[in-house]
Amino acid sequence: MRNKLYVVSWLLLICSLAFNIYCFIEKGDIDKEFASIDHDFKAEIGRIASGISQNDINLAIEHASKADALRKYTSFNDANMANYPAVMVTLLNNLRSTGSLINNKEEIVNLLTELSHQPSHKKNADELLKLMNEN
């Protein structure tokens, strides 16, 4: 009877260890996926700045749309983060439909560049939306 208990205990220990190793490996894969999404999100924010600096509103809208689609899957998606990618899509579409030029282009590009490095910086996001609303 003791031998059976000893064998069952070892089997449970081995199964538990194998399950923990599996969970550790899966968590690493998920972390890599989040890092990839975060990187793509930051790149899209930087590409919005590129589109604006080149006076290509369509390109800026395309990248703002991609950033907005990625936003809810990033690790930056928290209560403090403004929904600036979605607002940027709307504001850029309004500029395109009216045929207006972007005022304060250099400041907007600088803010977008800063946000591409630190996307959850609320002060920069608020300043960006304020400048975009002035157009």
What whole-number distance in Å separates Cα of residue 97 and Cα of residue 45? 22
Quick one: 86 exposed, middle or buried, by C-beta within 10 A (0-12, 13-18, 19+)?
Answer: middle
Average of per-residue pLDDT values in the chain? 85
**Does position 49 have pLDDT exceeding 90, yes or no?**
yes
> Could you tell me which CATH class the domain 33-133 is placed in?
mainly alpha
Q: Is 11 helix (H, G, I), strand (E, B) or coil?
A: helix
pLDDT, tens only, 69-119: 988 888 876 655 668 888 899 999 998 999 888 888 999 999 999 999 988
Residue 48 in this model has a pLDDT that exceeds 80: yes
Q: What percent of the chain has pLDDT above 90?
A: 37
Instruction: Determine which of 5-14, 31-40, 71-80 has the lowest per-residue pLDDT on average.
Output: 71-80
Check pLDDT > 80 for residue 23.
no
